[in-house]
């Protein structure tokens, strides 16, 4: 199948003079793809990146308009099934939590909250410490230097020295003010004797690099018109393009074809008019996120790989992990100005982030305090917590009462828990539904484990305690978010054994020697930390290794 499509493109003449052979082809321009493109192009590699979305410019954001909150549930929804942009593909399936994602230059970092959190040292040794899942083939020390380098590139604002984390270099900028919400939430944690620390965010607290200082607009999730939030279109792609990298937008990759020796030839992609092209390359790097990369590998079937490219282990698409998420909103009498940003974490807590033997679950959760947005978000939060009361809870006078009670007087503890890797949680191809290009779309099969449910229940109960200790007059508790927080991990896991992993410790496919995966799919375990810092640090680690070993890299004929 894969060879047939590639042969058809070559017979039509596409990809010869039009698309000269690149040293490196990257699929996806987001967190990991932008890091690889910048570093490899800077080292002299001829780099081409294929992105199925387009550029997003500050003028495209609606953050400064009166309808900004409405836009977040429509045009700027993080859910591709709701957004339905031409660059999106639908996600089907029966899933307890449905992934969210964004296709465009910068990928999910166009819409992220910019929370910056390295993983814990224990997150890499879960099997050794807790007897579940598997250990990573690398450890925290392997990422220490890359963590510091990508934090600088992303203009991270934060405070080093958190005793709950390994020793780290100072962040390039001081933390953004924790505001009234952080002060009140921290007061509650102090009363309970629980850990908290000022949040680190990839949001500039002062002018730094390509970023302007944060104006605390509080609309980070629908885009930052001031260019204070780090996105690859600001932080990485200008340097990559200046170094000679080529970024092709509107390019939907259909498959990765192979030569007769089983080396990746490049990628077949469809342009906006539906025409097929073959972009040849010596090395192919997949950076399309854990859902998109798994889908592309499964689409790339051939006689050599009838179950999907690089899938001799049978693990491509399997062990999908997310970060199951619930919230506890503290409603206070005092004004908290809680519409102010940044939307990233004001403070965070790792008090319950690791296994304790007296609990009925293993692993743990990360908490973070966030603002509450405008009146629509405030009322929506009230509605979700009172959903059992029916529509009348938000009709007429009740609507105004909810807005007056919650808007500007509340803060939210967001609680995300570690999701253990399980075989049945997976990405497969939908046999019946295709995207707008006619390619089978991704079907998500995902069930929340009992371990995760118990972990959420425990942490939510502690979150209510923390809210009450902070002086909350009431709390709004939401159940598990049916759409996730944009963290998709684990469908192409790394490991030393080809029988139990898809890529090796350098993220090179065990089956195809010039094919790499560098997105969150390579995660062995998910931890409870926001994964972007680790995804980018690992992409930098792998890129440096590719530069060092370029002389021995196998390439297609």
- Global pTM value: 0.96
Which residues are 327's β-sheet partners?
414, 478
Tokens, residue 248: 């092709």
Domain ranges of the chain: 4-57+87-372+408-552
| 190 neighbors 470 (Cβ within 8 angstroms) | no
Per-residue model confidence (pLDDT) at position 226: 86
Which two tokens mark 67? 């309808």
For the beta carbon of residue 497, count every other beta carbon within 10 angstroms: 11
Q: How far is CA 105 from CA 28, 51, 230, 248, in A?
A: 8, 7, 13, 10
User: At how many degrees (to 10) do helices 397-406 and 375-385 cross?
Assistant: 110
Q: What distances in angstroms separate CA 502 from CA 125, 276, 510, one per listed residue?
A: 19, 28, 6
Residue 409, pLDDT score: 92
Q: What is the pLDDT along the chain (557 residues), one digit of tens a residue?
A: 434 566 666 555 444 435 799 999 999 999 999 999 999 999 999 999 999 999 998 778 877 777 777 777 778 888 999 889 899 999 999 999 999 999 999 999 998 999 999 999 999 999 999 999 999 999 999 999 999 999 999 999 999 999 999 999 999 999 999 999 999 999 999 999 999 999 999 999 999 999 999 988 888 877 888 899 999 999 999 999 999 999 999 999 999 999 999 999 999 999 999 999 999 999 999 999 999 999 999 999 999 999 999 999 999 999 999 999 999 999 999 999 988 888 889 999 999 999 999 999 999 999 999 988 887 777 777 777 776 666 666 677 777 777 888 888 999 999 999 999 999 999 999 999 999 999 999 999 999 999 999 999 999 999 999 999 999 999 999 999 998 898 999 999 999 999 999 999 999 999 999 999 999 999 999 999 999 999 999 999 999 999 999 999 999 98
Tell me if the domain spanning 4-57+87-372+408-552 has CATH number 3.20.20.150: no
């Amino acid at each position: 199948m894969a060879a047939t499509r590639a042969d058809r493109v070559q017979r039509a003449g596409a990809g010869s003079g039009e698309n000269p052979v690149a040293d490196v082809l990257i699929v996806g321009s987001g967190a990991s793809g932008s890091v690889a493109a910048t570093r490899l192009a800077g080292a002299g590699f001829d780099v081409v990146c294929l992105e199925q979305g387009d550029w997003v410019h500050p003028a495209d954001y609606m953050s400064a308009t009166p309808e900004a909150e409405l836009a977040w549930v429509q045009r700027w929804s993080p859910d591709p099934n709701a957004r339905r942009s031409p660059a999106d593909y639908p996600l089907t399936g029966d899933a307890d939590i449905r992934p969210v994602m964004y296709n465009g230059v910068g990928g999910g970092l166009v819409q992220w909250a910019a929370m910056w959190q390295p993983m814990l040292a224990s997150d890499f040794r879960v099997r050794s410490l807790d007897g579940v899942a598997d250990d990573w083939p690398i450890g925290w020390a392997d990422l220490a230097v890359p963590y510091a380098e990508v934090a600088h590139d992303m203009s991270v604002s934060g405070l080093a020295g958190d005793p709950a984390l390994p020793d780290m270099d100072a962040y390039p900028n001081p933390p953004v003010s924790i505001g009234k919400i952080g002060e009140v939430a921290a007061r509650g944690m102090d009363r309970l004797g629980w850990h908290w620390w000022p949040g680190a965010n990839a949001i500039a607290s002062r002018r730094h690099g390509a970023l302007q200082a944060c104006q605390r607009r509080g609309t980070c999730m629908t885009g930052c018109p001031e260019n204070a939030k780090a996105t690859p279109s600001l932080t990485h792609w200008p340097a990559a393009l200046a170094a000679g990298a080529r970024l092709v937008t509107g390019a939907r990759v259909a498959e990765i074809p192979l030569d007769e020796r089983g080396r990746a030839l490049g990628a077949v992609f469809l342009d906006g008019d539906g025409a097929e092209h073959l972009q040849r390359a010596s090395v192919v790097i997949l950076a399309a996120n854990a859902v998109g990369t798994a889908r592309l590998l499964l689409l790339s079937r051939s006689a050599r790989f009838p179950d999907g490219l690089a899938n001799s282990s049978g693990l491509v698409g399997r062990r999908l992990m997310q970060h199951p998420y619930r919230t506890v909103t503290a409603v206070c009498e005092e004004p908290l100005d809680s519409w102010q940003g940044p939307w990233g974490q004001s403070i965070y807590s790792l008090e319950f982030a690791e296994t304790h033997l007296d609990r009925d679950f293993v692993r743990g959760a990360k908490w973070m305090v966030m603002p509450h947005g405008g009146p629509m978000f405030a009322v929506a939060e009230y509605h979700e917590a009172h959903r059992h009361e029916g529509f009348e809870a938000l009709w007429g006078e009740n609507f105004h009462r909810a807005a007056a009670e919650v808007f500007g007087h509340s803060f939210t503890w967001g609680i995300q828990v570690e999701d253990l890797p399980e075989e049945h949680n997976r990405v497969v191809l939908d046999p019946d539904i295709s995207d707008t290009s006619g390619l089978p779309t991704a079907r998500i099969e995902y069930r929340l484990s009992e371990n995760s449910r118990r972990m959420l229940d425990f942490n939510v109960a502690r979150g209510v305690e923390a809210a009450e200790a902070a002086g909350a007059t009431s709390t709004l508790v939401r159940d598990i978010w049916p759409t996730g927080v944009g963290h998709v991990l684990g469908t192409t896991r790394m490991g030393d054994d080809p029988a139990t992993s898809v890529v090796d410790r350098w993220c090179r496919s065990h089956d195809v020697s010039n094919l790499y995966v560098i997105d969150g799919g390579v995660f062995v375990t998910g931890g409870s930390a926001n994964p972007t810092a680790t995804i980018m640090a690992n992409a930098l680690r792998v890129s440096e290794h590719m530069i060092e070993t370029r002389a021995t890299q196998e390439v297609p004929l």
